Structure 1
Amino acid sequence: MITTGSYDEALERFHHTGPEREGWLSNHGPMVAEALARLGHEDRVHRWTDGYIRGLEDVPRGIDRIDAAAWRDPLGDPVRSGDWIDFFRAEVEQEAWATTLVRWWPRLLPGIAAGATHGVIRVGHAVRALRAEETAPRRQELAHALAYWAARWQPVPQVAPAGRLSAARALTLVPPVPRQEHGIRNRIAQLDETGGWRRAVRSLAPPDRSADVPEALRSLVDAVLAQYAARAHGNATMLVHAATAPQAVLNALPSLPEAMWSASLEAAWSATAAVVAAYLPPDTRPVPRLGAHTPDEVLEQALAHGGEHVIKLADTALGARTSSEEPLALAAVLTAIDLDA
């Protein structure tokens, strides 16, 4: 349960800052604040915010009003970030926040790679908080999150699962992009020339019914967490998103009509396979022994580390269902700490 108080106060502070800093690095503040509050550590929100907010930039100013009928033109244009913020702030004040979400989700979903998937991740955190309790700062956070997704909208090839493999098995078939260099946009652009990538994505077994999509997403998150510790040396920070992006889609799913669920799974799986291909190392490493660490102890280590990706991975890992793979989920968090993700 996320209560009002420090979390909402932190949102009001972060809404004076922009969605990015230093060119295109994502502002993780609102996402981490929500994760801390959900994990029962709202008492840490302000202290963490105090340290993080110093490195952020002011919220960008708009340059021209976005026409609701011509929304495709500025889609994916980060120069229009301020315009998108103004647009969505008005949207969530003029109608129910869920109405805005349902209208824009299918428009934004094909560009799920936006901001290295931080667009959908920020939306997922915002929606989860709104379902817990609707407040003005949380409505505005959804507006900022949707605006970031729209401004950085970036597609990945959409491939519908049509195979028989589990998520864990299908993930092992994902090949690396030919040139693992430069940023994620450069790497994702290589997917169409990456032999075997589409075949690997297609190999995933689709759920029998749309009602089974939440379970399929949970299985995908579980599979990424289980493989993270062995692969994280490829890029400990970026590979976090292979888990947190589908988790964000899962967070938003209860607020979306079931007719949108199958497309949401396809986009989430394609995004995960894209991130894995972009940062897949040439070898795997032994998974560190968990020892006697309990989930609470692992969380304390993550909080002590304080890194935005470590905290968000801990939120995802500790929210994973109890299963035979839970120790691997905890090992993922410990690996992220060790590698300073």
Structure 2
Amino acid sequence: MTDTKRFFTDRILTWNRAHNDRNMPWKNEKNPYFIWLSEIILQQTRVEQGRPYYERFISAYPTVNDLAKAPEEEVFRLWQGLGYYARCKNMLAAARSISAAGKFPDTYEGIAALKGVGAYTAAAIASFAYNLPHAVLDGNVYRVLARYFGIDTPTDTTAGKKLFTALANDVLPENQAGIYNQAIMDFGAVVCKPQQPLCKTCALAPHCEAFQKGLTDLVPVKSKKLTIKKRYFHFLLLEQNGMVWIRKRTAKDIWQNLHEFPLVETPAPADLDALRQTAGFQQLVPPKTKALEPGVQLRQQLTHQTIHASFTRFSLSPDFSLPADYMLVPAGQLEKYAFPKIITDYLQR
């Protein structure tokens, strides 16, 4: 390790000893199950949003065996509102494989083999639970390394990932992987922030390439610009003698394994008159059926998509039925089913 890299590592650890007060229930945890649970919940999720879910999960399922035995519908209801539901499906599959094996894996390779666990998550669990020498690379770590060492190689390229992985492992201190990994992530979240970093009081500033050259706002670099797709969902609340039609989403799309009301998706915004002309609407709603109320409009922002949703209620005759993938459930028991956040928001209105 060069003097510059040694200075970097020493300053990160010194800063951590004075500022190790970021209050998170999984911090300094050694139970690999709890660490794994927190890391899965925090994938693509802010700490403030993920914390109550973590607390609910460890309360409902204190051990990995408890989670492994839980009914899928129950687990999805507990996850409801957190988004990225493939994580929940993978988490349950991994819990069942761990339970079948008889213990939580204690090697990086064993952890990385779990369903839904990537390189970052495997490194985090391996270092936090077992102090194994594997460096974590999340957004905070990329930013701290890119700024301090003045790296403008895009982080989302093969070359960038290889460079940053090598560097992150090079500055990893011997026998202190867990402490250091938590420290650099906290440092990135608290000091080397994406916006308005605390450069003037930063312990790394004297040797920070980005700060010294005025490049703080320019690194890290990404080569690809995020494209946001707009989608227009029209949910039809088809009521029938106090019952409501719903179905489970099974296609490989957003919200897989969650429930929804009958849905018509259109390529552009559409009012009720335009919606009635679509084949999807005509397959679901009998001709001349009147709407009970004007459509309620809601919007949900996902990472790569913006969902514009309308909800319109209809009352159907007792003899009406839908295809076999739909089911008729009591309107007063909808809380028993896991729905996407945009539908739960509508139901709470």
More strand by share: 2
Q: TM-score range by the shorter chain?
A: under 0.3
TM-score, L = length of structure 2: 0.27
More helix by share: 1
Based on CA coordinates, which of the two structures has the bigger radius of gyration?
2
